[in-house]
Chains A and B, each alone.
Chain A
Amino acid sequence: NAGVTQTPKFQVLKTGQSMTLQCAQDMNHNSMYWYRQDPGMGLRLIYYSASEGTTDKGEVPNGYNVSRLNKREFSLRLESAAPSQTSVYFCASSKGFQGSANTGELFFGEGSRLTVL
């Protein structure tokens, strides 16, 4: 049972380059999310998709775009990478919406460590 799978696990980019982080879940969850984790900042929500066909901005969306390709897949794109986007990125999914009692438990992928030089 794979759960939430993210690729790639590591990536080094130069400023201005673009890339896409891929995420897929096999739990038939409705909601999917992209977070970034920075030291002392906890997890901050970049974008989310409450259900297939919808996407919305989270707390820190600037410089990112997302695509909910189908119910399983949710990708995060950096169009023109900046050093401030150096971080660890986590994809997550949940049956109901995050924060909802009983159904909002988030299941996270292993993370993608991105360095922008």
Chain B
Amino acid sequence: DQQVKQNSPSLSVQEGRISILNCDYTNSMFDYFLWYKKYPAEGPTFLISISSIKDKNEDGRFTVFLNKSAKHLSLHIVPSQPGDSAVYFCAASASNAGNMLTFGGGTRLMVKP
């Protein structure tokens, strides 16, 4: 049973608009969450993270929101750019369980010019 789920396999957004990528988790012990971005034929690269003591973390155009009660996090990209077209993976870990990362299945974002 997947503990981290990205229910939308793909998302298409117009350039300049907001992209919202969603991630749900089931393990209430998760206390650290990350987003990775992956271009074709490349390895994933770290994008942004958030600790469970926060509900928002912002880095430039990227903002991650965490709703612990709903066990839900989202990544907002504003404004979206064609170069943001990639697969985005969310991941989670629990500090009292060895910090092992569990990844979601990924969402492919396509930003149209």
Q: How far is the CA of A99 from the CA of B98 in the complex (A)?
A: 8
* B70 interfacial by beta-carbon distance below 8 Å: no
Tell which of B12-20, B43-51, B71-79 binds the partner: B43-51
| Bound Cα distance A42, B102 (Å) | 9
Q: Check: A4 CB closer than 8 A to any chain B CB.
A: yes
Interface flag for B4 (CB, 8 Å): yes
How far is B41's CA from A22's CA once the two chains are assembled, in angstroms? 18
* A43 in contact with B44 (CB, 8 Å): yes
- In the complex, are the beta carbons of B45 and A45 less than 8 A apart? no
Cβ contact within 8 Å between B103 and A44: yes
Looking at B45, B46, B51, B99, the one whose CB has the most chain A CB atoms below 10 A away is B99
Contact size range, A: 20 to 34
- B103 close to A111 (CB less than 8 A): no
Total A-B residue contacts, Cβ distance less than 8 Å: 69
* Residues of B contacting A100 in the complex (Cβ-Cβ under 8 angstroms): 32, 93, 95, 99
Give the Cβ gap from A102 to chain B, nearest Cβ, in Å: 9
- A108 & B93 in contact (Cβ 8 Å cutoff): no
Which one, A13-21, A62-70, A90-98, is touching chain B?
A90-98
Q: Are A111 and B43 within 8 A (Cβ)?
A: yes
Q: Which of B43, B44, B101 contacts A45 (CB 8 A)?
A: B101
> Residues of B contacting A92 with CB < 8 Å?
43
Residue of B nearest to A99 (CB): B93
Q: Which one of A99, A101, A109, A110 lies within 8 Å of B101 (CB-CB)?
A: A99
For B6, the chain A residues whose CB sits under 8 A away are 42
Spell out A's residues near B (CB within 8 Å).
4, 40-45, 58, 90, 92, 97-101, 104-111
A-B contact pairs, 18 of them (CB 8 A): A40-B105, A42-B89, A42-B106, A97-B99, A98-B93, A99-B32, A99-B94, A99-B98, A99-B101, A100-B32, A100-B99, A101-B32, A101-B95, A104-B93, A105-B34, A105-B49, A110-B41, A111-B42
